[in-house]
Structure 1
Amino acid sequence: MRVMICEDQPLIAFDLQEILEAEGHEVIGVYDRAADAEACLDDVEFALLDVDLADGPSYAFAQTLEDRGVPFAFVTASRLSDIPVPLRGAQVVAKPYRHDAILALFPRGEGSKR
Structure 2
Amino acid sequence: MRILVLEDDPFIASDLQAILEDDGHEVVGVFTSLAETYEHLDDGFDYALLDIDVVGGKSFGVASALAERDIPFAFVSASQPGDLPSSLCRVAFIPKPFEERTILQSISDTYSC
TM surpasses 0.5 = yes
Bigger RCO (CA 8 Å, 6+ sep): 1
Matched with 2:73 is 72
RMSD, aligned CA = 1.1
The Cα shift of 1:54 comes to 0.7
Matched with 2:16 is 16
TM-score, normalized by length of structure 2?
Answer: 0.92
The Cα shift of 1:107 comes to 2.2
Matched with 1:7 is 7
Unaligned 5+ runs, structure 1? 109-114
Equivalent positions of 1:26-41 (< 5 A) are 26-41=26-41
C-alpha distance after superposition, 1:36-81 (max 9, x if no partner): 1122222121000000011100001100000110100000010111
- SS of the residue 1:28 aligns to: strand
Q: Are residues 1:91 and 2:87 paired?
A: no
Structure 2 residue identity aligned to 1:68:
R
Unaligned 5+ runs, structure 2? none
The Cα shift of 1:32 comes to 0.7
TM-score, normalized by length of structure 1?
Answer: 0.91
The number of aligned residues is 108
The Cα shift of 1:29 comes to 0.2
Q: Which runs of 4+ in 1 moved over 4 A?
A: none
Report % sequence identity.
43
- SS of the residue 1:70 aligns to: coil
Greater shift, 12-21 or 28-37, is seen at 28-37
> How far apart are the structure 1 equivalents of 2:96 and 2:77?
5
Greater shift, 64-73 or 40-49, is seen at 40-49
Matched with 1:59 is 60
> How far apart are the structure 2 equivalents of 1:37 and 1:51?
13
